[in-house]
Structure 1
Amino acid sequence: MSEVRNTMAAQATGSYIAQEDRHAAHNYHPLPVVVASGDGAWVTDVDGKRYLDCLAAYSAVNFGHSNPVLLDAARAQLDRITLTSRAFHNDQLGPFVTELAALAGKDMVLPMNTGAEAVESAIKVARAWGYRVKGVPDGEANIVVMAGNFHGRTTTIISFSDDESARADFGPYTPGFRTVPYGDAAALEAAIDDHTVAVLLEPIQGEAGIIVPPADYLPAVREICTRLRALFIADEIQSGLGRTGATFACDLVDVVPDVYLLGKALGGGIVPVSAVVADADVLGVLHAGEHGSTFGGNPLAAAVGRAVVSMLATGEPQARARELGGVLRERLEALIGHGVVAVRGAGLWAGIDIDPVKGTGREICERLMERGVLAKDTHGSTIRLAPPIVVSEEDLVWAVEQLEAVLVDA
């Protein structure tokens, strides 16, 4: 009977995957698992098999699947109104931007939907600030970015990406960007001139493999930007909102950028919500009609975002990520020399370089999936772990044990 059930399960999974392969654009290469439901740090596939989610939708599900607080906020708003557009005010947007601004210690919020939209919006704001405040000649603004960056896949953003899989065959590319090595403050300073309006970076590079810069790097960036009068824009779309054990990764080194870019976890894994957060002397450069979004700041998104901000305001998710992050780091570092080459990260976010002899990152993730753990590879033999912050210590330890078992068997 078990063989019959397994055959039927494989057929069901295969059917869903076949439909997706046939009718969805092939811009992703997902693991062969079909998720049907989720609760906390666990998800269940169409065949009833449970998996520990150690990706959390690239940190969009920081607070767990089916989080009751977030679901209650969404349900309550669904019964009232979900979309008005910004042609009118709604009763959730004002409180949302007020509470988010307070959490970030800034004056103003520009609400958008996706992370890439937040980045694009910040580029527009920085250029407008450069022309209207700094006095850069029209059309001459430049922004300094980092090698190995990942800020999204729109045509402007891929113009300053060095990931050929995101960039190749999508030109012509948008000018106005200069790339310097990540973590090199001297190179950054040398690249800035009188026409530089901003420095855009990830406090911890996520897609590059959870790359943590030297401890003195972000403070140096802050000093350089202040002295040379360029906006410091921190893309905290993946690193922010509790993931690293702090509200923002910049907090880990006591640095405050001019602009925060937020997304992913801001929508609680329920709706896409992003934001550009800055003081009035920066975001105040925008005038009516110069930028907008039909769905940005919609009542449903704002209601869910308010619930997220309320949870973060307690400090509890950040403290939990710090505590469990220590457990994760200790367990992973014990695997160095036993199939693991290096471990990087902060809080509940880890990049693990696998010995290529043991397999590619994709192969390791496929073997983890077979053992009930979902993770994601990046850049060859590197895998990432980013479980929801609600994960239990017991489950976290179990996940690392599965990785150890996979490496022993490889």
Structure 2
Amino acid sequence: MWEFLAVCPPGLEDFVAQELQALGLSGKKIEGGVVFQGLWREMLLAHLWLRVASRILLRLARFRAETFGELKRQAAKIPWEIWIPENFRVRFRVTSYRSRLYHEGAIRERLEEVVSRKRGRSIREGEEELAVVVRVVKDVCTISLDPSGDLFRRGYKIGQGLTALRENLAAALVLASGWEREAPLLDPFCGTGTIPAEAAMLAAGRAPGLLRRFPFEAWPHFPRELWEALKEKARAREKPPPAQPLIFAADASEDMVSATRKNLEALGLSAWVKVFQCELKTLAPPKGGPGYLVTDPPYGRRVRLRNPEGLYRTLGEILRQRFSGWRLTLIFPSHRKRALEKLTGLTFRTLLVTEHGGLRCAFLKGL
């Protein structure tokens, strides 16, 4: 059996464990991910269906190394010729913490030398790229292959914008909201439509990895027939859209509204979402409520706001006056929770704390 680590942002391990369990795979939660075992079928299922994981790592070796000589001897035991085909170049990502081998660049150089020698040519040559993740902690070196790349990318985004909520964080936010699929869901700051798109995929039963091409697909021993069969089974599970959309995406920017429409069309789920331009002060609840407001509001880091205090005061007023009974879940810098409560006049409960765009952020539920 191979050992995998489904990596995720901190605080989201429970979601990944639940997704693996739904696939019939048992996992062990650790900080920053969930460890699970399997072979090709389990690996492919995880790549096809995991929404909240950032990437999936395949462990190649774990050993103790206090010297560069020991590092090279142990690394040479790995069958690199099996895991890295001829048409691949290799990129090492190295981190070292509290270890005698503390120089990450020197670790990378030694490993590049070992792999190049075993393959008989430079690891920097090749049409495809494969990442190898090396983590040295307290003199214990773990070497893993990254066959997934950025798993959080769904492969549909053609409409771009300044806001950049990662897809796996958006999926986790929707899941954390407790959204019941028969109730409406509204994102009043939709940006490029990441949250509505993830909600649509959940409602439709869309496998998030269905549109992706992964690095492992170029391996000569890749079981293509099994992969196509799993994808065909996933397609057959998708649900048709409802007669009237229950997911709503709004933004004050016409450019963002246009980007959202393009992305939903590329995803093939535009029938699930009603997209419209709307200034916050004119926002009104859609029919079918009360429902769920799930959003990643602007907070002045990625998008410069002229009057952030006014925006959040307006948001609080509108939610109190027009959205009685609606359930609010948002992501926001955790250190600014009290300021958010003061400006909006709302009370929030912290569901979890994670990282977003280099910031420590919290999933907050309105009370």
Query: Larger RCO: Structure 1 or Structure 2 (Cα < 8 Å, ≥ 6 residues apart)?
Result: 1
Which has the larger share of strand?
2
State if a TM-score over 0.5 links the two structures: no
The TM-score normalised by the length of structure 2 is 0.32
